[in-house]
């Protein structure tokens, strides 16, 4: 059996990042992956400005009794006059600092009347002044290639005057489910059939990671059906995910179909529960990953093993999101020959921290556990885990993003 960490690393590097990129409007950049490193083009702030509503003055002109004539009222966007000796200029947040001023005092420390202002506390030179370039300096690195762009990155790029940005093209994913026992949601179902939940689930997972599920196909258990589906997926997609049909049953025809197309399917037995059977093939440089048929197993394998590969192919800088260690609540000690990934909820603990509560039924067919869970708790193999023992926690908000 492959250890989980070994399988995760192997699969994460089963393909190279996409080389296709294009420019998009800044308004369309959120959720995309930056294809080129960006440097700052302007200083931010572009000039010294006030961090407060208040008054600009020279610290040397201040005394507790002094009443300084208010020379100008300078709003953000106005150009201030050079400060005259013994005067003050009324400023507002974002107003430029007048030449000759070395201090800004808050309006709460000032009393203005009859065109003059009295300052109640000694000003400190440089206080409440935002210096030119203290946020970004022109020419300095701004964002590295591989950054998954979010609203904060959009704000940073907009502050540099960028209207368009080069991003990697969306990763095109093809999904294939197999099995005569499956029927599509909304269609009539016979007693011996079940609804196909894996296809819609994997498509939603792909979209949630910013990829494009180009095709979601279902093939009957015939070689002709499988070959036709694979030809379509390999022609149109960068990554192909299949569900079921890779074990040693009489109707498990995925492996011979891929062999016909020139791909050798390596069947891995990963030491993880759920999700033991995982398979990988490469055809014309495109990875084909076969997931187990149980929906929970497929969900867990996608989150833990496939998502790093997706991030790599998208060109992202970070392949493996951070994990934490939290106490697991369990009524009885837990131990298994494989590493176990429990569906859990992260909840507040009595000590003010957090703890992990497992779903009551951990069967690999219990689909109701998936929307209930906030993440997966990783329990080591062959080691008893007791109540309140700390275990590795994978937060699905990050691992499926």
Contact 182, 195 (CB under 8 A): yes
Token pair of 68, please? Answer: 């300084």
Grouping H, G, I as helix, E, B as strand and the rest as coil, residue 217 is strand
Strands (E), 66-138: 67-74, 88-91, 103-106, 110-113, 116-119, 129-130
Q: Residue 365's pLDDT is what?
A: 86
CATH superfamily of 49-130: Molybdopterin biosynthesis moea protein, domain 3. (2.170.190.11)
Rounded Cα distance between 368 and 373, Å, is: 9
What CATH number was assigned to the domain covering residues 324-400?
2.40.340.10
Query: What are the extents of the domains in the chain?
Result: 4-19+169-314, 21-44+134-168, 49-130, 324-400
144 CB neighbour count, 10 Å cutoff: 11
How far, in Å, CA of 400 to CA of 246, rounded?
25
Q: Is the peptide bond before 45 cis (omega within 30 degrees of 0)?
A: yes
Terminal Cα distance for the chain, rounded: 29
DSSP E strand stretches across 26-98: 38-39, 49-50, 54-57, 67-74, 88-91
Using N-to-C axis directions, what is the helix angle for 307-314 and 4-12, rounded to 10°?
Answer: 20
Cα(301)–Cα(319) distance, integer angstroms = 15
**CA 268 – CA 239 distance, rounded (Å):** 18
Q: What is the pLDDT along the chain (401 residues), one digit of tens a residue?
A: 889 999 999 999 999 999 999 999 999 999 999 999 999 999 999 999 999 999 999 999 999 999 999 999 999 999 999 999 999 999 999 999 999 999 999 999 999 999 999 999 999 999 999 999 999 999 999 999 999 999 999 999 999 999 999 999 999 999 999 988 899 899 999 999 999 999 999 999 999 999 999 999 999 888 899 999 999 999 999 999 999 876 655 467 888 888 899 988 787 889 999 988 899 999 999 999 999 989 999 999 999 999 999 999 999 999 999 999 999 999 999 999 999 999 999 999 999 999 999 999 999 889 999 999 999 999 999 999 999 999 999 999 999 99
Give the whole-angstrom CA distance, residue 61 versus residue 55.
Answer: 13
Return the CATH number of the domain spanning residue range 4-19+169-314: 3.40.980.10
Q: What are the residues facing 173 on neighbouring strands?
A: 213, 239
Question: Would you say the CATH fold of 21-44+134-168 matches that of 4-19+169-314?
Answer: no
Q: CB of 192 within 8 A of CB of 258? A: no
pLDDT for the residue 51? 97
Superfamily of domain 21-44+134-168 in CATH is Molybdopterin biosynthesis moea protein, domain 2 (3.90.105.10)
Q: What is the pLDDT of residue 221?
A: 85
Rg over alpha carbons for the chain, rounded to the nearest Å, is 30
Q: Other CB atoms closer than 10 Å to residue 78's CB: what's the count?
A: 13
Whether the bond between 274 and the residue before it is cis, its omega within 30 degrees of 0, is yes
């Amino acid at each position: 059996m492959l250890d989980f960490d070994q399988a995760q690393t192997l699969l994460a590097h089963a393909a190279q990042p996409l080389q296709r990129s294009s420019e998009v409007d800044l308004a369309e950049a959120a959720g995309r992956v930056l294809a080129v490193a960006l440097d700052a083009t302007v200083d931010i702030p572009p000039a010294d400005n006030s961090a407060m509503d208040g008054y600009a003055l020279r610290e040397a002109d201040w005394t507790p009794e002094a009443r300084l004539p208010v020379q100008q009222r300078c709003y953000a966007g106005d150009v201030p006059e050079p400060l005259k000796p013994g005067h003050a200029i009324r400023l507002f947040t974002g107003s430029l600092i007048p030449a000759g001023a070395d201090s800004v005092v808050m309006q709460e420390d000032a009393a203005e009347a009859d065109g003059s202002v009295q300052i109640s506390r000694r000003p400190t030179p440089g206080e409440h002044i935002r210096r030119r370039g203290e946020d970004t300096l022109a020419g300095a690195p701004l964002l590295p290639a591989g950054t998954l762009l979010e609203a904060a990155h959009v704000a940073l790029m907009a502050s540099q005057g960028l209207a368009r940005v080069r991003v990697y093209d969306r990763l095109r994913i093809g999904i294939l489910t197999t099995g005569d026992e499956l029927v599509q949601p909304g269609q009539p179902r016979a007693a011996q059939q079940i609804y196909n939940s894996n296809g819609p689930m994997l498509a939603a997972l792909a979209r949630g990671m910013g990829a494009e599920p180009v095709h979601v196909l279902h093939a009957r258990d015939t070689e002709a059906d499988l070959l036709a589906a694979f030809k379509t997926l390999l022609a149109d997609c960068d990554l192909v995910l299949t569900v079921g049909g890779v074990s040693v049953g009489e109707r498990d025809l995925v492996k011979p179909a891929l062999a016909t197309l020139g791909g050798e399917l390596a069947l891995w037995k990963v030491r993880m529960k759920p999700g033991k059977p995982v398979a990988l093939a490469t055809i014309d440089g495109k990875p084909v990953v076969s997931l187990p048929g149980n929906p929970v197993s497929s969900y867990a394998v996608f989150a833990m093993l496939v998502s790093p590969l997706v991030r790599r192919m998208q060109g992202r800088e970070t392949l493996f999101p951070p994990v934490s260690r939290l106490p697991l609540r369990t009524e009885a000690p837990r131990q298994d020959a494989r590493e176990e990934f429990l569906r859990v909820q992260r909840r507040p603990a009595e000590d003010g921290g957090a703890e992990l509560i497992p779903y009551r039924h951990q069967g690999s067919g219990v689909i109701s556990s998936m929307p209930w869970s906030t993440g997966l708790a990783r329990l080591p193999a062959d080691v008893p885990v007791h109540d309140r023992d700390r275990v590795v926690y994978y937060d699905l908000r990050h691992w499926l993003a």
